[in-house]
Structures are given as structure tokens and as C-alpha cells.
Homo-oligomer: A and B are copies of this chain.
Amino acid sequence: MDVRTLCLGALMGGEATGYEIRKMFEDGTFSHFQIASLGSIYPALTKLTQDGLVTFVEHEQENRPDKKIYQLTSEGRRSFLRTLLQTRPGEDRYRSDILFMLTFAEEMPLELTEALIDEFAARHQMMSQQIDPDKDDGTDAQGSRWHDEDGNPKPGCCFVAGLGQAMCDATLKFIRENKQGLLDQLKNYKANKS
């Protein structure tokens, strides 16, 4: 799923600037299961404009850089929905440097292992809190898009958010239950080697 499609999806919830779209992937609605950087979003929006799938209004601001507020065209909306129906979703991929590094726990000092696990837990703790759909009350125009125009929560979004939280919680639970055990095993393991 390329960045152009992701941008169309981001604009399904209403108008937004490129910067706001990045925030949806960085902090907001999509942050825990998709990624897109500014370096790919801006070219994507330019291309989409050329193809007539989005339009933008330029808002000149005093003492601030101009704002380009993008919006789906009806053609863009149709195109996105067609993509949804026709695309075979790509594989799920989870990428974690910390887990990769922990694979080599035997080769590093115990303190580093513990620090990595703690950092991993802290990140998931933060993510779990960030996902919470209740924080979006529908009044914040630039906020996330868990609710539709009538203020009803969108079932699909709630499901995905709940799934994300369940994964975070499972991760935290596993760490609570197994961190000390790992550290003890590592101590033994290292004692045996020397």
C-alpha cells in the first residue's frame, strides 16, 4: 500500500494539510499500524493533485508559511474506495530493533538487557495511552478521526484501536511476568560459561 493511497485514506476523514497528515501517522489515528514520512507525503500530494484525486486551497497566514489545505475530490473518494475493494492487503510486518538486540542478550551486559526491556515497556505503555479513542471528543477539527460527522464513533476505528491496545497490554503483561526470569536465566547462563 503506497503513500498515495495512505494519503487518500487520511483525507477520507476530512480536509488536512500535509503536516497534519504526517501527524496522523506519527501520533494520531494511524500511528500504531502505518507509517509515512514528510519526504513521501508531499510528493504524493503533488502527484494526487496532478491526477485530480485531491484539490487544495492555499491559506495565506500572517507571519507564517502558507498552508495548503487538501481535500478529496469525488473522483479521489471513488478511487480510494475502489482500491479498498480491489487491493490484496500487503503482509503485516512488525519491525523492532529492541527485540532484535535482545536476541543477543547473552552477549551484552545485564544492565543493557534490562534497560532495553524497560524502554520497550515504556514505549508500549505510551502507545497504549495514545491509542485511547475516548480522547477524541469530536470537537477538535484537527484531531484524530474516530468519529463521523454525527459524532458517532466509527466501529471500524474502535475495533482497530482496541486491537492495538490489546497487543500493547499483552506485551506489558508478558514483560511483567517474564523480565525477572530472563535476567535470572542470563545470570546462570553467564556463570556456566565462565
Contact = CB atoms under 8 A, between A and B. Distances in A.
Interface in A113-144: 113, 116, 119-120, 123
Contacts of A155: 105-106, 182, 185-186, 189
Interface string A83-125: 0110101111111111111111111110011001001100100
A70 interface: no
A119 B89 contact: yes
A189 B148 CA distance: 11
Copies per assembly: 2
B178 A100 contact: no
A33 interface: yes
A105 B153 CA distance: 12
Interface string A156-191: 110110111011011101110010001001100100
A103 B170 contact: no
A163 B105 CA distance: 15
Best-buried of A93, A109, A119 by chain B (most CB within 10 Å):
A93
A35 interface: yes
Given A100-B30, A102-B159, A106-B156, A95 B35 contact: yes
30 contacts: A1-B97, A30-B103, A33-B94, A34-B100, A84-B104, A84-B108, A89-B98, A89-B101, A89-B116, A92-B95, A93-B94, A94-B95, A95-B95, A99-B163, A102-B159, A102-B160, A103-B154, A103-B156, A103-B157, A103-B160, A105-B156, A105-B159, A106-B148, A106-B154, A106-B155, A155-B189, A163-B178, A166-B174, A167-B167, A169-B170
Interface of A: 1, 6, 9, 12, 29-30, 32-35, 81, 84-85, 87, 89-109, 112-113, 116, 119-120, 123, 148, 152, 154-157, 159-160, 162-164, 166-167, 169-171, 173-175, 178, 182, 185-186, 189
